[in-house]
Amino acid sequence: ETGVTQSPTHLIKTRGQQVTLRCSSQSGHNTVSWYQQALGQGPQFIFQYYREEENGRGNFPPRFSGLQFPNYSSELNVNALELDDSALYLCASSIDEETQYFGPGTRLLVL
């Protein structure tokens, strides 16, 4: 058991809406990364937070934003949802440069 949890497990939204996905890292993990996994594809890096500061970003527009909190939880926010945002969203936590541990993911469907 890695201890990384995500909520909710499933979510349905409509185009144009906003969504917040949550991740709870293992205690002591100061780094969290978020990934988007479309059907049939590998995970794609969205961004990473290290000690509550953004520490790298992939090729995603600004409407994808995040927060990391001192209690090892984090959020992924997506504004102005588009149909192509339908995917599995994964968070992964680690201590500094060590192995990333993945959560079970949140499956988002945009109608």
Partner 1 sequence: AQRVTQPEKLLSVFKGAPVELKCNYSYSGSPELFWYVQYSRQRLQLLLRHISRESIKGFTADLNKGETSFHLKKPFAQEEDSAMYYCALSRSYSSASKIIFGSGTRLSIRP
Interaction pattern, residues 48-77, with partner 1; x per rule: CB under 8 A: x-x-----x-x-------------------
Residue of 89, 86, 82, 79 lying closest to 109 (CA atoms): 86
The pair phi, psi for residue 84, each rounded to 5°, is -70, -5
In angstroms, the CA 34 to CA 102 distance is: 9
Residue 41 in contact with partner 1, rule: CB under 8 A: yes
Find the binder of partner 1 among 43, 66, 72, 110 (CB under 8 A).
43
Q: What angle do CA 22, 105, 52 make, to 5 degrees?
A: 40
Instruction: Return the range that interacts with partner 1 (CB under 8 A); candidates 13-21, 62-70, 76-84, 90-98.
Output: 90-98
Q: For residue 40, how many C-alpha atoms fall within 13 Å in the half-sphere facing its CB?
A: 0
Find the binder of partner 1 among 25, 74, 94, 106 (CB under 8 A).
94
Binding residues for partner 1 (CB under 8 A): 2, 4, 31, 33, 35, 40-45, 48, 50, 56, 58, 90, 94, 96-105
